[in-house]
Amino acid sequence: MDRIWVVVDRAGERVAPLSLELLTKSKDLADQVEGVTWGDGAQLAAEAGSYGAALLHTVGDLGGRLPGPAVAAAMAARIEAGDAPDAVLVPHNYDGRDIAGRLSALIDRPVLTNVVGLTDADGLRTQHPVFGGSEILTARFTGDGPGIYVVRTKSFAAEDSGGAAADVDVWAVPQLGAADAVRVVDRHVEEREGPKLDEAAVVVSGGRGLGQADAYRMIEELAKLLGGAAGASRAIVDAGWVPYSHQVGQTGKTVKPTVYIAAGISGATQHMVGMKGANNIIAINKDQEAPIFSIADLGVVGDVNKVLPKLIEALRARS
Amino acid sequence: MNVVVCTKQIPDPANPGQLSPDTHTLVREGKLILDDSDAYGVELGLQLVEAAGGEVMLVSMAPHAEVSGLRTALAMGAAKAILVSDEALVGSDALSTAKVLAAAIRRTDPDLIIAATESTDGYTGTLPVQLAQLLDLPSVTFAKRLSVADGKVRADRQTESGYDEVESPLPAVVTVTAGVVEPRYPSFKGIMSAKNKPIEQLSLADLGIDPSAVGWAGARQEVVSVVSAEARTGGEIVVDDGDAHERIVAFLEQLKVI
Ligand SMILES: Cc1cc2nc3c(=O)[nH]c(=O)nc-3n(C[C@H](O)[C@H](O)[C@H](O)COP(=O)(O)OP(=O)(O)OC[C@H]3O[C@@H](n4cnc5c(N)ncnc54)[C@H](O)[C@@H]3O)c2cc1C
């Protein structure tokens, strides 16, 4: 494969971890890897380069706009001008999905989303977990034009290969019209202590079995004692007990920690697809029949409100 | 204010899903129900028109002229629906579906188009933004709170680290997450009146769409294979007698986490 474009998402002044994963994988698959980003490209050039990007294209300062319309239109213009890559890899996150959707409609190519694996066998093939990850579906694009792949976090390792800083250039953005009318008025950052959910070595998640919002404090405390991050099932996010940024699963984060502790979580397929990749799973649930036990290395049949306080006490006593 | 809500009708997720052995796509036979994820959009649309006047119109694409999911949303309070159903649509990817919905929506003149961030059964999650691009409209995705005033929509849009307050002029496409509002249950009166609410049924010919550009004929992606994932099996199970925490501590020690 000759050339891959990777959408380089930002985490402040750095490259977002998921984009580093995509750059690393692309370096494996293609002769030339090019990043496409927004804002100050020079800021990200060294990091993007050391993970495999030879070039970094930026659409420049967004001035309070969302990245979707501008990044997609700039890519589409290059493709229409005959400068098409073989594939475009996009992070499966909020801005990534906006970019992929707009690009798809602009260049009239469909999108493969929820990608967790990529192999090159006479063209790229994608792997997707279906039915909660119990089956793996392999798909590919047919027809002409670049494929658009939206890839989930932790599908590939991010490896610094020590490449030189990427050369930065600025891509012109065509006239965008009505599609570009959204403005960010204010940004809110929900502070959280400790490591990030999708980077933590230990993740402790709570579910509806906690019984009440207050009981989530035990999850946070336990996560802190283990140097990990606190996660949640969608049931308690929807109930407003914890912010969405804690959600693990199909519509939340994918995590692959050394240890995942599920407390009061039933193990719905949509939850399991986000945490099945953990090296070790501990589940605490009062229902012996809970599906979560079918994938737990250690299953404790018991009441979270009894087991967790004792576990916390025992760990506190050691520290 | 007129609101279009994109409503998908799907097989009941309570029953285990199935892939067709020939085509490896989801089997969509039998009774379809309103996708739970769309109930939030329907509710939000209803709240907006209840405050500002106007009506909620549903737009759906489904096989076999299926209407049972639409009736549920009509029973919640939507005024009418457009249903696109055509043999040639079987096998459509998200982009083809977006083109069909865009053509249907062009026949109406909405101020706001609401969709779920993704469907429960396919969860491709690209259709709403494809739709926005095809209609040349702004899109506010992943809204977890939303209001409309002075010809503008304001929303809290989820981000990796929290949320952004964003603003867009109307018309616009918004996608809403579960929990944005609490969907109402249809009342008995609602269910009765839903039976007589208009559902306009359209074919591809009605929309002027070439059947060879959609469905299997127009598909530009294909499933190569489906295999069972390496099964993760359960391990040790202990029943708590008051000392299960000790077993957890020992396990964590063994893993050198503590
Ligand atoms: C399109 C779609 C996307 C979704 N995406 C996600 C997602 O990303 N992430 C996600 O998590 N879910 C997701 N879901 C929801 C998912 O289907 C489940 O509804 C959800 O995961 C259930 O959360 P839960 O396990 O906390 O609650 P429940 O299923 O209600 O389970 C609670 C569990 O707690 C146990 N329990 C109760 N009391 C106690 C006690 N005192 N001590 C110990 N155990 C107790 C019960 O036995 C039960 O097993 C999605 C659903 C759909 C339709």
Q: Is the pLDDT of residue B143 over 80?
A: yes
The question of ipTM being above 0.90 is answered as yes
Q: Residue A235 domain-assigned?
A: yes
A182 contacts B167? CB cut-off 8 A: yes
Q: Do A130 and A53 belong to one domain? A: yes
Which whole number is the average pLDDT over A240-262? Answer: 93
- Establish if A189 belongs to a structural domain: no
Cα of A250 from ligand 1 centre, angstroms: 12
Q: What is the pLDDT of residue A27?
A: 97
Interval A94-108 mean pLDDT: 97
| DSSP one-letter string for B78-109 | --EEEEE--GGGTT--HHHHHHHHHHHHHTS-
- CATH (domain of A31): 3.40.50.620
Task: Label residue B26 exposed, middle or buried (CB < 10 Å: 0-12, 13-18, 19+).
Answer: middle
Which of B133, B165, B223 is opposite residue A139, by nearest beta carbon? B223
- Do A55 and A168 belong to one domain? yes
- The size of chain A, in residues, is 319
Shared-domain flag, residues A176 and A202: no
Average pLDDT over every residue of A183-187: 97
Q: Which residue has the tokens 């006047």?
A: B53
Residues A137 and A105 in one domain: yes
Band of pLDDT at residue A44, cut at 50, 70 and 90: very high
CA angle, residues A20, A117, B134, in degrees to nearest 5: 80
In this predicted structure, what is the pLDDT of residue B9?
Answer: 96
Domain count, chain A: 2
Which chain B residues are Cβ-neighbours of A91 within 8 angstroms? Answer: none
How confident is the model over B160-182, as a mean pLDDT? 93
The protein residue whose alpha carbon is closest to atom 42 in ligand 1 is A303
Average predicted confidence (pLDDT) for chain B: 94
Which phi and psi (to 5°) does residue A214 adopt?
-55, -35
C-alpha distances in angstroms, A160 versus A22, A23, A47, A163? 12, 10, 8, 8
Q: What share of residues in chain B are helix, strand, coil (percent, to 5)?
A: 30, 30, 40
Q: Average of pLDDT values for B20-37?
A: 83
Q: Do B134 and A105 touch (CB under 8 A)?
A: yes
End-to-end CA distance of chain B: 59
Q: Which residue bears the tokens 């020590």?
A: A162
Sign of CA dihedral B33, B114, A137, B64: positive
Same domain, A40 and A159: yes
> A150 C-alpha to center of ligand 1: Å?
26
Over residues B202-231, mean pLDDT = 93
Find the CB nearest A282 among B127, B138, B251: B251
**What is the reported pTM?**
0.91
- Alpha helix (H) residue ranges in chain B: 36-52, 68-76, 94-106, 127-134, 188-194, 204-207, 215-218, 244-254
Query: pLDDT digit string (tens) for B247-256?
Result: 999 999 999 9
Tell me: pLDDT of A314 over 90: yes
The pLDDT value recorded for residue B29 is 72
Nearest atom, ligand 1, residue B37 CA: 1
Measured from the Cα of A208, ligand 1's closest atom is 26
The pLDDT score that the predictor gives to residue A251 is 86
Which DSSP symbol is given to B182? Answer: -
Residue A12 has pLDDT above 90, yes or no: no
Annotate A76-109 with b (16+ C-beta within 10 A) or e (fewer): bbbbeeeebbbbbbbbbbbbbbbbbbbbbbbbeb
Chain A residues whose beta carbon lies within 8 Å of the beta carbon of residue B249: 311, 314-315
Query: Phi-psi region for residue B91, left (φ > 0), alpha (ψ -120 to 50) or beta?
Result: left
Identify which of B67, B60, B85, B86 has the alpha carbon closest to the alpha carbon of residue B5: B60
Least CB-CB distance to B235: which of A110, A245, A297? A297
d(CA B153, CA B167): 6
Closest to A237 in 3D by CA, of A267, A263, A213 = A213
R_g over Cα of chain B: 22
User: Is A281 inside any structural domain?
Assistant: yes
The 3-class secondary structure across chain A, one letter per residue, is CCEEEEECCEECCEECHHHHHHHHHHHHHCCEEEEEECCCHHHHHHHHHHCCCCEEEECCCCCCCCHHHHHHHHHHHHHHCCCCCCEEEEECCHHHHHHHHHHHHHHCCCEEEEECEEEECCCEEEEEEECCCCEEEEEEECCCCCEEEEECCCCCCCCCCCCCCCEEEECCCCCCHHHHCCEEEEEEECCCCCCCCCCCCEEEEECHHHCCHHHHHHHHHHHHHCCCEEEECHHHHHCCCCCHHHEECCCCECCCCCEEEEECCCCCHHHHCCCCCCCEEEEEECCCCCHHHHHCCEEEECCHHHHHHHHHHHHHHHC
- pLDDT of residue B20 exceeding 90, the answer is no
**Chain-wide mean pLDDT for chain A?**
95
- B70 pLDDT exceeds 90? yes
Q: pLDDT tens for residues A61-79?
A: 999 999 999 999 999 999 9
Give B18's pLDDT tier (boundaries 50, 70, 90).
Answer: confident
CB contact (8 A) between residue A299 and residue B236: yes
Q: Which of B144, B165, B251 faces A244 most closely, judged by CB atoms?
A: B144
Residues A156 and A205 in one domain: no
B150 vs A: CB within 8 A: no
Q: Does residue A185 lie in a domain region?
A: no
Cα of B236 to nearest chain A Cα, Å: 5
CATH number of the CATH domain containing A232: 3.40.50.1220
**pLDDT value at position A265?**
98
Give the class (CATH, top level) of B2-218: alpha beta
pLDDT the model gives residue B162: 86
Residue A104, pLDDT score: 98
Q: How many CB pairs under 8 A join A and B?
A: 261
pLDDT tens digits, B80-121? 999 999 999 999 999 999 999 999 999 999 999 999 999 988
pLDDT cut 90: percent of chain A above it: 90
If one residue of B35, B38, B120 were mutated to test the ligand 1 pocket, choosing by the most ligand atoms within 8 A of its CB, it would be B120
Residues A174 and A47 placed together within one structural domain of the fold:
yes
Residue ranges around ligand 1 (CB below 6 Å): A 207-209, 211, 233-236, 247-252, 264-266, 268, 270-271, 274, 284-287, 290, 303-305; B 13, 36-37, 120, 123
pLDDT of amino acid A288:
97
- End position of a domain, from candidates A150, A180, A210: A180
The string of DSSP codes covering B62-80 is -GGG--HHHHHHHHHT--E
Inter-chain touch A315–B257, beta carbons under 8 Å: no
Contact A173, A60 (CB under 8 A): yes
The Å distance, Cα A162 to ligand 1 centre, comes to 43
Considering only A69-83, A128-142, A175-189, which range has the smallest mean pLDDT? A128-142
pLDDT for the residue A214: 98
Can you give the pLDDT at residue A244?
85
Residue B213 pairs in a beta bridge with none
Residue B146 DSSP SS3: strand
Same domain, yes or no: A251 and A128:
no
Any domain includes A186: no
| Residue A287, min C-alpha distance to chain B (Å) | 10
Whether B25 has a pLDDT exceeding 80, the answer reads no
Per-residue model confidence (pLDDT) at position A159: 97
State whether A141 and A210 are in the same domain: no
Structural domain including A235 reads 197-318
| Interval A235-243 mean pLDDT | 92
